[in-house]
Structure 1
Amino acid sequence: MRRVILPICLMLGACVPGNYTYNEPASRAALPQESTMPPMKAFSAPRPVPPQRSNRDIIRDFLDLSFQMESGRMLQHFSRFEGPVTLRVTGEPPISLMADLNRLIHRLRTEAGIDIRRVSDEGANITIEAVSRDDIRRQLPTAACFVVPNISRITQYRSARNARSTDWTRITRREKIAIFVPNDSSPQEVRDCLHEELAQALGPLNDLYRLNDSVFNDDNVHAVLTGFDMLILRAYYSPELRAGMTRREVEARLPAILSRLNPGGDRIGPRFYGSTPRAWIDAIQTALGPGARPAQRREAAVDALRIAQAVGWADHRRAFSHFALGRLTQASDPDFAQDQFAAADQFYQRTPGTELHRAFTAAQLASYAIAQGRGEDALMLIGPHLGTAERFENAALLATLQMLRAEALELTGRVAEARSVRLDSLGWARYGYGADWAVRAKLREVGALSPLKGPNG
């Protein structure tokens, strides 16, 4: 299992600004130098949103997540740890990793009810090894991070990758798992890897595009474990279940488990979102994943939208199809791209639980409004989504929205307020984008949208 490198953290041009060097001169006034950067900001107490869906839907989600791999291979038995789970950190972890990991462990203990704790000895059930991005990509070129059973060091992966011991389909009781995360990425990317990979080390091994409120979805929209994810993990470790059960045995126990853990879900009618065709998944991964040429990406995005229309979707997957096409056409045909973003927002608006998706879309629509000099329109687009980005703990998105708001404020003549908002964005940007050069690069990218400045200031 791995968190795939997809350029769909969905902000403007890319996840991490590129094509800038450390000594590139500032292209606009008020661009802070390293010595004037404010401290990195951190989120306060988590505010997960409880799942707002029927327990009948959640039963189906739980079974599809737990008894199938992303590749489509079926799992014959339910697998999990039995008893307390111990975890250790090795390698060269960045400073932010330990704080974010401690926070995550606390959430797993309190929200998911999992008996998990950190230890220092080699006999830990889970080993998190912090290594370089190059080390990870030498093993899996498309991965940002990944998790493997029955090894403890990344140097063991190549020789073990085809062994029976690392085949998830042969594992029922989990005892030893390794997670490999980057130590030279932004704090947010490292944290996101911790959340997704630790969740899959403990629980479900599958991802489902039909889930709009979960990290168990390859669209990478959600950065941290959601209320739905914690409910799934709490059910995963409920005393009614045990490692080695069949799908039928687990299915028989789930209604009572979810009625106990999520009584409100018994009072909500099911939506029964349809399954996601493999052809749509392949098209999306070609469009937004690594390796394809620009023309291939655009063609794949068109195919994804065509499939979504043919299936008759009106949910977040139809919206995401429009969004992907917009992302891949905004440089060549910005007017067409904005039509796609507007269509995406309309479908998101009709789908419950897509506030975060709409925040990403608002960033795209606001950037277009700023480029056209429509500052007031941009402010209206951005305003409702600042709180959403903070609630879902996406610092990169929050920083980008604040930078866009600063440009919009300048367009409306509110220069002092713009300066204050831009300064406030930097602390979040340092967490979301990492190195100070990357923060300054994002400021340049956003600043270049404004007709008051342009790319050369």
Structure 2
Amino acid sequence: MRSCRHLFLIPTVFLLAGCMAAVPSPNKNAPDSHVQRGTHVDDVATRRVSLPATLPAMKAFPATRGTRPIRSNSLIMGDFLDLSFQLESGRPLPVLSRFEGPISVTVAGRAPARMQADLDQLLTRLRHEAGINIRRGAGSSGNRITIEMIPKRNLQRHVPHAACFVAPNVAGWDDYLRHRGSARSDWTRMQQRTQMTVVIPSDVSPQEMRDCLHEEIAQALGPVNDLYRLENSVFNDDNFHTVLTGFDMLILRTYYEPDLRTGMSRAEVAQHLPSILKRLNPAGGAGTPRLTPPTPAAWKRAISDALGHGKPIKARQAAALRAVSIARQKGWQGNRLAFSLFAMGQLHIQSDSKLAFAAFKDAETIYRDRAGTDLHAAHIGVQMAAYALSAGHLDQAIATINTHLPAVRQAQNAALLATLMMIKAEALDRKGNASDAARLRLDSLGWARYGFGSNAQVGARLREIAAIAPSSAG
């Protein structure tokens, strides 16, 4: 299930100065996404960043392949076992369950053309990279994934904390409502997969639909657990990665290897993993599964409370501080500590900008020092670039953005890409490079339409970024 808290990572721009007032984000569903700005936007800036009468066409990313996993095979084996034999709730799964035979995918409800194209790209990748026999159409094998498109308000009326989700052994939304909570829809009782339903909101941005497709179809096919320790994977509740990575495709290919079969126990699967991974990922080396201690429940609760909706801000801030404290007590140096710091920074930006900035810097140091976390660093980079812009350090803002653009394009995050481009355009404008700024700003709009959705949200983001820059910079 993709949690609503993934909206916490929608690109946001902050002015780290306590004297500034905050205004809402254009995305009303993301309470932590906001831009801190001055009390007004000068008329020249308003005219300069207003949307053109005719917007450029929506941009979308071409088909791509995930990069090779960087983890050793011994670690990947442990990851595979933890992903495949446990639910996010912690309940164990007694056996490996998967589809046996060809899989068909059908779409019900109002599905935009862009979503259909993204689905076709995803299915092509699953065939080529994961070796899974999966195609559009009714099919004759009886193995089916139904993608049900429904209004977001309907989805969250019944599943309040989900942005989208997958349900087992049901054929569509109505069937899910009839059988949810029953033995039929209990993952722990499933022996073999034949019918899965992926529920996606039909009235969100194209990027959010695509992100849901990637995560939920992957879970319909394979692991239904998420691990915070993973850095380069959609199987992680931090939701930095939203498009299936090379690691994810390797996990799914392993899931459907002929040496494995439905009904195998964890121990039986573990016996086969060394030979499977040595064949599929020779660069990962040989060895046996290396098991990683589970993430403590106390840290998970702290992160959940920090990112949860409907809680007082002080309670959420305290939870983020608690998560950082636990991570440091455990001696963690990787993704879990950095994500704790990122959450702390986001939640303290208005009340304690000095603490927030220090947290972002610490998280950035961790991400920069680790392989495979360039995208994570880019989420910190957007904060740093906005801060540099607000302080009038225009060359620094541009350099920061240029550092992170390749990783953002590789990860296919259009919302983050558009935000970085808009900040850079504003910096160029303030330096007097009006023509270059105008071209870059116009280019950003095509990505913004994919990442943010409505024209109103695109225009609001432009104006907010213009507002954080000083009227004159030296």
TM over 0.5: yes
1:23 maps to: none
Matched with 2:9 is 9
Number of the residue aligned with 1:446:
465
Structure 2 gaps of 5+ residues are: 14-23, 31-42
8 Å Cα contact 1:114/1:234 also seen in 2 = yes
CA offset digits 1:317-339 (Å, max 9, x no partner): 11111111111111222232111
Task: Give the counterpart of 1:86 among 85, 101, 104.
Answer: 104
CA contact (8 A) 2:74 2:286 kept: no
Give the CA deviation at 1:268: 9.8
Deviation at 1:388, TM superposition (A): 1.0
Contact 1:348 1:357 in 2 (8 A): yes
Alpha-carbon offset, residue 441 of structure 1: 1.2
Deviations along 1:396-420, one digit per CA (max 9) or x if unpaired, are 1100110111122223232221121
1:162 has 2:181 as partner: yes
Q: What do the CA deviations read for 1:272-331 (whole angstroms, capped 9, x no partner)?
A: 765321111111121123221211111111111111111111112111111111111112
The equivalent residue for 1:176 is 195
| Structure 1 SS opposite 2:167 | strand
Q: Secondary structure at the match of 2:427?
A: helix
- Counterpart secondary structure, 1:234: helix
Counterpart of 1:400 in structure 2 is: 419
2:344 to 321, 325, 330: 325
The corresponding residue for 1:200 is 219
Find the aligned partners of 1:318 and 1:245 in 2 and give their Cα distance.
35
Instruction: Answer yes or no: is 1:303 the counterpart of 2:322.
Output: yes
- Range with bigger deviation, 270-279 or 221-230: 270-279
Q: TM-score, normalised by structure 2?
A: 0.90
Report the identity percentage.
Answer: 49
Cα separation, partners in 2 of 1:124 and 1:184, compared to 1, 3 Å: farther
Higher mean displacement: 302-311 or 288-297: 288-297
Deviations 1:102-132 (A, max 9, x none): 0000000000000001114796611001111
143-152 vs 162-171, which moves further: 143-152
Match of 2:359? 340
TM-fit CA distance, 1:270: 9.6
Q: 1:16 to 1:210 in 2, by over 3 A?
A: farther
**Kept in 2: contact 1:447–1:453 (CA 8 A):** no
Counterpart secondary structure, 1:181? strand
- Distance verdict in 2 for CA 1:82–1:267, change over 3 Å: closer
User: Matches of residues 64-143 of structure 1 in structure 2 within 5 Å?
Assistant: 64-120=82-138, 125-143=144-162
One-letter identity of the residue aligned with 2:57: P
Q: Partners in 1 of 2:255 and 2:25 — Cα distance?
A: 33
Equivalent-residue separation in structure 1 for 2:150 and 2:262 (angstroms): 31
TM-score relative to the length of structure 1: 0.94
- Residues 1:98 and 1:405: Cα distance change in structure 2 (over 3 Å): same
Give, as a single letter, the amino acid of the residue that structure 1 aligns with 2:7: P
Helix, strand or coil at the partner of 2:106: strand
Separation in 2 of the partners of 1:267 and 1:30? 58
| 1:412 partner amino acid | K
Asked if 1:43 is matched to 2:78, the reply is no
Task: Give the equivalent residue in structure 1 for 2:445.
Answer: 426
Does the 8 A contact of 1:7 with 1:15 survive in 2? no
State the alpha-carbon separation in 1 of the partners of residues 291 and 383 from structure 2.
Answer: 30
- How has the CA–CA distance of structure 1 residues 69 and 383 changed in structure 2, closer, same or farther, with 3 Å as cutoff? same
C-alpha displacement of 1:16: 5.4
SS of 1:180's equivalent in the other structure is strand
Instruction: Please list, as runs of the form range in 1=range in 2, the aligned pairs for 1:241-256 lying within 5 A after superposition.
Output: 241-256=260-275
Using a 3 Å threshold, how does the CA distance of structure 1 residues 324 and 399 change in structure 2: closer, same or farther? same
What's the CA shift for 1:30?
Answer: 2.4
User: SS at 1:30's partner residue?
Assistant: helix
Which among 53, 56, 77 is matched to residue 74 of structure 2? 56
The root-mean-square deviation of aligned C-alpha atoms, in Å, is 2.3
Alignment partner of 1:101: what SS?
A: helix
Q: Is the 8 A contact 2:129 2:249 kept in 1?
A: yes
Distance of 1:121 and 1:75 partners within structure 2: 29
Residues 201-224 of structure 1 show CA distances to partners (whole Å, capped at 9, x for unaligned) of 000010000000000001110010
Q: 1:148 aligns to what SS in structure 2?
A: strand
- Is the contact between residue 7 and residue 289 of structure 1 (CA under 8 Å) also seen in structure 2? no
Q: Assess if the C-alpha contact under 8 Å between 1:6 and 1:289 holds in 2.
A: no
* AA of the residue aligned to 2:126: L
Q: What's the secondary structure of 1:254's corresponding residue?
A: helix
User: Are the aligned partners of 2:26 and 2:456 in contact in 1 as well (CA < 8 Å)?
Assistant: no
How far the C-alpha of 1:42 sits from its partner, in A, is: 1.1
1:18 aligns with 2:36: no
The 1:86/1:148 distance shift into structure 2, 3 A limit, reads same
Query: Contact between 2:103 and 2:139, CA under 8 Å: does it hold in 1?
Result: no
Distance in 1 (CA, whole Å) between partners of 2:259 and 2:77 is 15
Rounded to whole Å, the distance in 2 between the matches of 1:128 and 1:111 is 22
